[in-house]
């Protein structure tokens, strides 16, 4: 199950490291410091910082990344929500009282 926090994930810096999903972000920070040469060769997915892929494969990963759909859906929801708010907004502005009589 992808959402199981106890599932084991393979570390992109050291293939022998298997880390629980709930600890994975912390492990990535630690391992990045321990393996700077490997870190130089990896690129971070713009949709999920837990996805580290070889730089040459990044464009292919971006096209196929499962998390891209979540981001696109979220952006769509935000923009349609903003449009709905704009349509439902009612102006509460009122002109201040005027003491001038331009007819006189």
Residue 28 sits at φ, ψ, to 5 deg, of -60, -45
Buried b (16+ CB within 10 A) or exposed e, 58-90: beebeeebeebeeeeeeeeeeeeeeeeeeeeee
The mean pLDDT of 29-34, rounded to a whole number, is 95
Q: Is the pLDDT of residue 69 over 80?
A: no
> What band does 99 get if pLDDT is binned at 50, 70 and 90?
confident
Q: Taking the complete model, does pTM exceed 0.75, yes or no?
A: no
The answer to whether 45 touches 62, Cβ cutoff 8 Å, is yes
Q: Is the pLDDT of residue 72 over 70?
A: no
The mean pLDDT of 42-56, rounded to a whole number, is 94
């Amino acid at each position: 199950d992808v959402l199981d926090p106890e599932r084991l994930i393979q570390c992109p810096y050291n293939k022998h490291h298997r880390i629980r999903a709930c600890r994975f972000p912390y492990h990535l920070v630690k391992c990045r410091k321990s393996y700077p040469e490997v870190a130089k060769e990896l690129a971070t997915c713009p949709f999920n910082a837990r996805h580290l892929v070889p730089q040459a494969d990044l464009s292919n990963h971006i096209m196929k990344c499962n998390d891209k759909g979540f981001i696109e859906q979220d952006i769509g929801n935000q923009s349609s929500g903003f449009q709905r708010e704009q349509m439902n907004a009612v102006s509460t502005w009122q002109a201040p009282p005027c003491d001038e009589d331009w007819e006189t």
